[in-house]
Every structure is written in C-alpha cells, then in structure tokens.
Amino acid sequence: MRTKRFVIALCVLFLATPMAISAPVDVSETIRESGVDISASTVVIRRVSDGQTWISNRQRAAERFIPASTSKIPHTIVALETGVSSFDTVFEWDGKRRFLDSWNMDQTLATAYQRSAVWVFQDIADAVGHAQMAHWIQRLEYGNRNIGDATRLTTYWLQGPLKISALEQIDFLERLVSDKLSVSPGTVDKAREIMRADSGPDWSLYAKTGWGLRVDEPDIGWYVGWLEQNEPVPEIYIFAFNLDMASSQDRHRREQTVRHILADIGVLAAEAP
C-alpha cells in the first residue's frame, strides 16, 4: 500500500509540474573526487517525476556487464511471486564452508539478500526451474533477457550469458518503483522491505551491491537501487553505478561514490568525514 500511495503522490506532483526536462547533467567531476577512474566506470541517476538525469561516461552507461548480485533484485521478486520462497522461509545451510562466514548458516530470503549468499539464490533458481526462470527474466525485461541453457541455471548471472547495462538497470528499477512489473502488490511490498539498506527521518534507501569475477581483466562492481525522499516533496531518485574494481578499495567505493553524488546534487545529506 505504501508504494502505491507514494506513486500516487508522485503522479500528483508530476501533473502539477511543467513537462520541461533539463539536459542530462555530467557528474564526472564528482566521480573523480570519489577516487574512481571516470574512463572505467559509469553512473546514471534518474529522478522519476520528470526524468531529469545525472550521468558520467555515457558510452559505458549503455555497455552490458554481468549483473552479479544485483540480479538478486529480480530473483527476490521471482521467488516471492512464484511461491518458491515466502518472506519468512528458512533455507537450511548444508554444512559446506563457503566464501564468507555469514553465508555459512541458515538464511531467510532477507538475510540471503543482505549478505549476498549466492547458494540461497542458486537453490531458488533450481526450485523455480529453467523454463520458468527464463520466462520471468523475459517478463521482467531484465537486461539482455538471456539465461542460457539449463546447464547455466545456477551461474547465468555470475558468468553470463545474462548481461545488463547501467541504463537497463535504471529502466528495470523504474518499472519496479512505479508498479509496472506485472507482479502482485504484496510481492513488491515484501521485496522493498528486503531491499531497504538505510533510512533517515525523511528518506529511505533501497539498494544492492554486485561483484562479478572476471578472468584476465578487473572484476566488475555494481551498486544499484533508489532513494525515496519524503521531504520537502515526495521524490524518487534511481541510481546505477558500475566500475572496474582494480584494487581492494574499489569494493568500498561502490556505495560511497553513489552517496557522494546524491549528496552533491542535494538529495542526501553528506556523510561525516
């Protein structure tokens, strides 16, 4: 219900506002201030009410990369919509030691999302099945919509063939926040609750990181999501950021860079140094 009320408020604001969309604003200097190589990264931020866009490296914004764990956003929606998982479903750990200690325990859908527990989403993909997962990725219009054959069912978002650009991430998330994904309102509400990463007195941040391993080139890093701003007027800012992670510091720069840009354009308070 909250999602629909928020969207209705945005529609009222949109109808009362002249339809004059300014040219995209280049935020390359802010990217540079964050310590990120402009040529090896891109960011796109879109204000939902009027389409105003902030961007860097427009050519790369249209380039597709493996989504890695950002695919847990559509996977969460599919799990909830198909009934493979409820909000409270417990996925029992099989006892195998994996990459992170936080993965090596029982998980709920929410903890698996927050901890990026790959094995849970591989179990979900198995339970959904290849035909249905292919159907849902197509239905959600996610990236190139290609999950490959059945042998790729548990790796297609980690190794390909599924790929997505920053611009396509933005379009997918805009359909999500605007209730245009052709899924039930209950699924969207639960997915939003799982996705909430941070909040303040008049704002909420929904997001997902991604880290894709690549051979003979730097890994790909992602941070995608949206900021809901309640004051002074209701507004949503969708963001998608990716970069080549050339050093260990780059994994921290994913979220930090987006927050820096949101603060720079005046929609999120700057973090204390």
Give the active site residues: 69
**Cα–Cα distance measured from residue 206 to residue 191, given in angstroms and rounded to the nearest whole number:** 10
- Coil/strand/helix, residue 99: coil
**Cα–Cα distance measured from residue 4 to residue 223, given in angstroms and rounded to the nearest whole number:** 25
- Of the candidates 39, 46, 45, 37, the one whose C-alpha atom is nearest the C-alpha of residue 60 is 39
Q: What is the DSSP letter of 92?
A: P
**Are the CB atoms for 146 and 132 separated by under 8 Å?**
no
Residue type, 201: P
**Cα–Cα distance measured from residue 182 to residue 172, given in angstroms and rounded to the nearest whole number:** 12
Could you tell me which residues come within 8 angstroms of residue 65 by beta carbon, excluding any fewer than 6 positions away?
A: 163, 164, 165, 212, 220, 222, 242
Residue 273, number of CB atoms within 10 A of its CB:
3
